[in-house]
């Protein structure tokens, strides 16, 4: 029969010596491998004390941005919800009332803005689709939670704090 490839290896079928039957060379080779790994640099990181740097393209927790005057940037256009392949974003638009000019930039704003983080795949399409740079994915790791309701982030959870209001803490 003709060989298909030249990768065939001839197997040595000679009888084993006494040392090979006692597995002493194999044990010594295994101990040598173990001893060589003891002196190498560890691959693990001691997490709470040392934090591993993230990739520059890491996409973490969603944030709703404000402009320099503290007004919300989101105009409830719905492009982020349309671009989301997992359909994790839901929003409801409302019209600005008289006297709320400092709160919202445009006549229309997002009265309800929710992101279901259990559905989110952190693709970043919502960030790319937003024409007002209102939504972006920060470098914060999403915290864990024990119930499903804790993973639905509302507008109040996503908005960054107002830059001109002081906390009374």
Annotated binding-site positions: 74, 77, 80, 84, 120, 123, 126, 130
Distance CA 18, CA 16 (A): 7
Torsion angles phi and psi, residue 44, rounded to 5: -90, 160
Sign of the torsion formed by the C-alpha atoms of 63, 65, 71 and 76: negative
Distance CA 62, CA 85 (A): 16
Query: Tokens 């993230």, residue?
Result: 54
Point out the annotated binding site for [4Fe-4S] cluster: 74, 77, 80, 84, 120, 123, 126, 130
């Amino acid at each position: 029969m003709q060989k298909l490839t030249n990768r065939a290896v001839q197997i040595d079928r000679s009888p084993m010596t006494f040392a090979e039957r006692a597995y002493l060379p194999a044990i010594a080779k295994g101990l040598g491998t173990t001893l060589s790994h003891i002196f190498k640099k560890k691959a693990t990181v001691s997490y709470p004390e040392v934090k591993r740097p993230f990739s520059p393209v890491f996409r973490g927790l969603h944030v709703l941005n404000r402009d320099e005057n503290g007004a919300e940037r989101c105009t409830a256009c719905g492009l982020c919800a349309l671009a989301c392949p997992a359909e994790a974003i839901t929003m409801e638009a409302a019209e600005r009332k008289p006297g709320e000019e400092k709160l919202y930039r445009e006549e229309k704003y997002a009265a309800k803005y929710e992101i279901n983080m259990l559905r989110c795949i952190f693709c970043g399409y919502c960030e790319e689709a937003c024409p007002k740079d209102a939504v972006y994915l920060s470098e914060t790791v999403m915290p864990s939670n024990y119930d499903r309701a804790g993973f639905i982030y509302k507008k109040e959870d996503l908005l960054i704090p107002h830059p001109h209001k002081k906390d009374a803490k």
